[in-house]
């Protein structure tokens, strides 16, 4: 695979190849912890992938290994810039902007696959959680740390986690702050598949190519249908938006617009009221 660099950022790398975009958190000296700038850059790259009609799959991963030989997907919010009301950026403003990123990853009408090597902990664990699929390297380590470091994620980080692994396991993960290896994560349904670390990206590409053979509209509608189950009115809005998109693609929908532009009454008489 010949990845093409798309744009230069400070904290992340952004590449594309064919229908695949690859977004890499690039702060290995901090186990890929995110600061507000990292999150803004991730958001920007995800927006680009969403707008690019050639892209069907986004891989989200972490740069590594670090010079000490250790891997990380992401270790959550950068605790060195954590202030009194959030993570503080260059502008001095405290933010929890990773919450916006979580929503974007869930609503982007493309398949997002987390490739996890090494640590996916704290807010970094929630990032892999909100991806559609997770492929884990055999050295992956998962866990929440909030109650240990004075934080928590009561949004997707807890309620969606409970949907994925069940209420008892989700409460265990948060209340005890233990670390779980790749095999344990597989057993609790937290990841889709485990491979040796050196095969992680190749496996991600393999899954992506299989997905890219499928119908984009079918995958789009399925993703919003899965989301609608837990996202309330925002989830229904996504699902219904797809109904509008499909309706615009019909001759019946186009007749309404055409009639308006031609300043005549619409003629829907040839379209049946199906049972
Ligand atoms: C990830 C973990 C378990 C790795 O442990 P280890 O022993 O392999 O590495 P070490 O030495 O702890 O870390 C290596 C370097 O990375 C920095 C460390 O401070 C260390 O730096 P130096 O001493 O070499 O200078 N580093 C690692 N994680 C960092 C972080 N999150 N922020 C800043 N620097 C970090 C171990 O490092 C660990 O437990 N990390 C902290 C995990 C954590 O608690 N994350 C925050 C959770 S809260 C959150 O993410 C959040 C939220 O709950 C709600 C909204 C938004 C965010």
Residue nearest to atom 18 of ligand 1 (CA): 30
| ipTM, 2 dp | 0.99
What is the pLDDT tens value at each position of the chain, 275 positions in all? 999 999 999 999 999 999 999 999 999 999 999 999 999 999 999 999 999 999 999 999 999 999 999 999 999 999 999 999 999 999 999 999 999 999 999 999 999 999 999 999 999 999 999 999 999 999 999 999 999 999 999 999 999 999 999 999 999 999 999 999 999 999 999 999 999 999 999 999 999 999 999 999 999 999 999 999 899 999 999 999 999 999 999 999 999 999 999 999 999 999 999 99
Structural contact between residues 122 and 96, judged by C-beta atoms closer than 8 angstroms: no
d(CA 63, CA 40): 18
149 lines ligand 1 (CB under 6 A): yes
Q: What angle do CA 151, 156, 161 make, to 5 degrees?
A: 95
107 lines ligand 1 (CB under 6 A): no
Q: What is the sign, positive or negative, of the torsion defined by CA atoms of 115, 164, 225, 234?
A: negative
64 lines ligand 1 (CB under 6 A): no
127 lines ligand 1 (CB under 6 A): no
Backbone angles phi and psi of 133, in degrees to 5: -135, 155
């Amino acid at each position: 695979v010949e990845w093409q660099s798309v744009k230069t950022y400070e904290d992340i790398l952004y590449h594309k190849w064919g229908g695949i975009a690859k977004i890499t958190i690039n702060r290995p000296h901090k186990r890929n912890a995110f600061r507000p700038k990292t999150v803004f850059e991730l958001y920007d790259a995800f927006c680009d992938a969403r707008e690019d009609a050639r892209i069907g799959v986004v891989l989200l991963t972490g740069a590594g290994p670090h010079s000490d030989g250790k891997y990380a997907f992401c270790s959550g919010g950068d605790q060195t810039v954590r202030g009194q009301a959030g993570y503080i950026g260059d502008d001095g403003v405290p933010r929890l902007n990773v919450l916006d990123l979580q929503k974007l990853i869930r609503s982007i009408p493309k398949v997002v696959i987390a490739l996890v090597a090494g640590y996916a902990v704290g807010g970094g664990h929630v990032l892999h959680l909100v991806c559609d699929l997770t492929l884990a390297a055999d050295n992956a380590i998962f866990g929440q740390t909030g109650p240990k470091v004075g934080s928590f994620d009561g949004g997707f980080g807890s309620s969606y986690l409970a949907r994925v692994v069940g209420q008892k396991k989700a409460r265990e993960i948060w209340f005890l702050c233990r670390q779980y290896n790749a095999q344990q994560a597989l057993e609790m349904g937290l990841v889709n598949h485990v491979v040796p670390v050196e095969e992680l990206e190749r496996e991600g590409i393999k899954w992506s190519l299989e997905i890219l053979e499928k119908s984009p509209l079918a995958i789009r509608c399925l993703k919003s249908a899965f989301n609608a189950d837990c996202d309330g009115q925002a989830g229904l809005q996504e699902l219904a938006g797809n109904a509008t998109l499909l309706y615009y693609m019909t001759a019946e929908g186009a007749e309404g617009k055409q009639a308006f532009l031609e300043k005549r009454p619409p003629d829907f008489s040839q379209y049946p009221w199906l049972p």
